[in-house]
């Protein structure tokens, strides 16, 4: 089963949670977006939440359920 990826990214004056380029939700603060992203990622395991900085760089990642790295084989 493939892992779903959710991203917390800047959105104008706020932040949003994305999945597959589509917005899952918008939030006034980064903290609120991260909390919402964690919840949606937990509810849709296996998944990963990727949190970005204001300039778009990856800040941290959270994996929910089994992490397929290193890959089998």
Q: What is the pLDDT of residues 7-58, one digit of tens each?
A: 999 999 999 999 999 999 999 999 999 999 999 999 999 999 999 999 999 9
Q: Specify the pTM.
A: 0.87
Around Cβ 33, how many Cβ atoms within 10 Å? 25
| Assigned domain for 35 exists | yes
| Assigned domain for 46 exists | yes
Is the pLDDT confidence value at 66 over 60?
yes
Residues spanned by the domain of 42: 4-50
| Assigned domain for 22 exists | yes
Question: Which residues lie below 8 Å from residue 55, measured CB to CB, with a gap of 6+?
Answer: none
| Assigned domain for 70 exists | no
Cα gap 59→56, rounded to integer Å: 9
Instruction: Please report the pLDDT score of residue 68 as a whole number.
Output: 59
| Assigned domain for 59 exists | no
| Assigned domain for 17 exists | yes
| Assigned domain for 62 exists | no
């Amino acid at each position: 089963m493939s892992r779903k990826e959710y991203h917390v990214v800047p959105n104008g004056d706020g932040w949003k949670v994305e999945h597959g380029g589509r917005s899952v939700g918008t939030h006034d603060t980064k903290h609120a977006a991260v909390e919402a992203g964690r919840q949606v990622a937990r509810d849709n395991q296996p998944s990963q939440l990727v949190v970005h900085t204001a300039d778009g760089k990856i800040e941290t990642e959270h994996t929910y359920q089994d992490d397929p790295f290193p890959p089998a084989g």
